[in-house]
């Protein structure tokens, strides 16, 4: 009886370690690292920056959703990452990298993802994790996610207390604000560094005339086109 137990225990241990070894062999991991900057300078909260148009600017909040990660493989098939919705808060370091696991033998050609939350998720009720409405990125009065939130102050901004507020969202036609991003990927890379240069955004929006967008619509859709230009590969 004792011998039997020993044999079973040994067998279990062998299977466990074999599985562990096997899983490590067939999986590889790579990271997407997000690097928030202002004209190449590291972006910091409540730090003064000067835009190309000469506006002094300070940021309080810069948050956005990156979702629906998909990888095009060398054999022209796609590897989709289920439930990949990430709320990026540029002032919260823990949100600035995401890890993905892959079968080791698969070669990646391109990375696809979206800036914003898709319509299907926006119509799915109360969700959890990064999509939990308690994260403050959900509109209560008109259901849907705020895809991008940029808030701060600038003396150039004629609004109350010089505050600028961009809450960009809306998923319905004709003014959806979801924007697709796509980058080539060298299969030898272990990580992809995504630069988010907020200066690109601030240089294009004119704070004197355009400092507040808080509802879905044509204006939000236009600002989403500007926002997507912040993203580039290092």
What does the binding site for another protein look like in residue numbers (CB under 8 A)? Answer: 122-128, 132-136, 138, 140-144, 217
Q: Report the distance separating Cα 55 and Cα 52, nearest Å.
A: 7
Q: Which residue, 184 or 217, has its beta carbon nearer to another protein?
A: 217
Q: Which residue, 5 or 134, has its beta carbon nearer to another protein?
A: 134
What residues contact 45, with CB distance under 8 A and at least 6 apart? Answer: 59, 60, 91
The residue length of the chain stands at 234
Structure tokens at 15: 């299977």
Smallest separation (angstroms) from another protein to the CB of 76? 35
The neighbour count for residue 44, using CB atoms within 10 Å, is: 14
Separate counts of helices (H) and strands (E) for the chain: 4, 15
Q: Which residue, 116 or 144, has its beta carbon nearer to another protein?
A: 144
Q: Which residue, 30 or 65, has its beta carbon nearer to another protein?
A: 65
Q: Which residue, 57 or 131, has its beta carbon nearer to another protein?
A: 131
The neighbour count for residue 196, using CB atoms within 10 Å, is: 23
Cis ω for the linkage preceding 134 (within 30 of 0): no
Q: Report the distance separating Cα 74 and Cα 107, nearest Å.
A: 5
Token pair 């403050």: residue: 136
Q: Which residue, 5 or 126, has its beta carbon nearer to another protein?
A: 126
Smallest separation (angstroms) from another protein to the CB of 19? 28
Q: Which residue, 94 or 141, has its beta carbon nearer to another protein?
A: 141
Smallest separation (angstroms) from another protein to the CB of 95? 16
For 167-192, give the DSSP string.
EEE--STT----EEEEEE--TT-SEE
Look up residue 16 and give its DSSP letter.
H
Look up residue 43 and give its DSSP letter.
P
Where are the alpha helices (H) located in 89-214, listed in sequence order?
A: 119-122, 198-204
């Amino acid at each position: 009886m004792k011998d039997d137990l020993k044999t079973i225990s040994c067998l279990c241990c062998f299977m466990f370690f074999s599985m562990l070894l096997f899983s490590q062999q067939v999986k590889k991991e790579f990271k997407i690292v997000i690097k928030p900057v202002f004209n190449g300078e590291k972006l910091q909260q409540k730090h003064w920056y000067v835009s190309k148009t000469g506006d002094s600017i300070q940021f309080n909040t810069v948050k956005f959703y990156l979702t629906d990660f998909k990888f095009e493989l060398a054999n022209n098939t796609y590897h989709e990452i289920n439930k990949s919705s990430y709320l990026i808060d540029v002032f919260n370091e823990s949100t600035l990298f995401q890890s993905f696991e892959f079968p080791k033998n698969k070669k990646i050609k391109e990375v696809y993802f979206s800036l914003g939350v898709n319509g299907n998720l926006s119509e799915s009720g109360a969700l959890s994790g990064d999509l939990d409405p308690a994260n403050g990125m959900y509109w209560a009065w008109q259901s849907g996610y705020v895809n991008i939130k940029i808030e701060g102050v600038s003396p150039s901004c004629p609004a109350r207390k010089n505050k600028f507020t961009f809450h960009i969202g809306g998923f319905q036609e004709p003014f959806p604000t979801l924007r697709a991003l796509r980058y080539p990927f060298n299969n030898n890379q272990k990580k992809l560094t995504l630069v988010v240069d907020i200066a690109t955004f601030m240089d294009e929006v004119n704070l004197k005339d355009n400092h507040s967008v808080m509802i879905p619509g044509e204006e939000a859709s236009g600002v989403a086109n500007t926002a997507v230009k912040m993203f580039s590969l290092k």
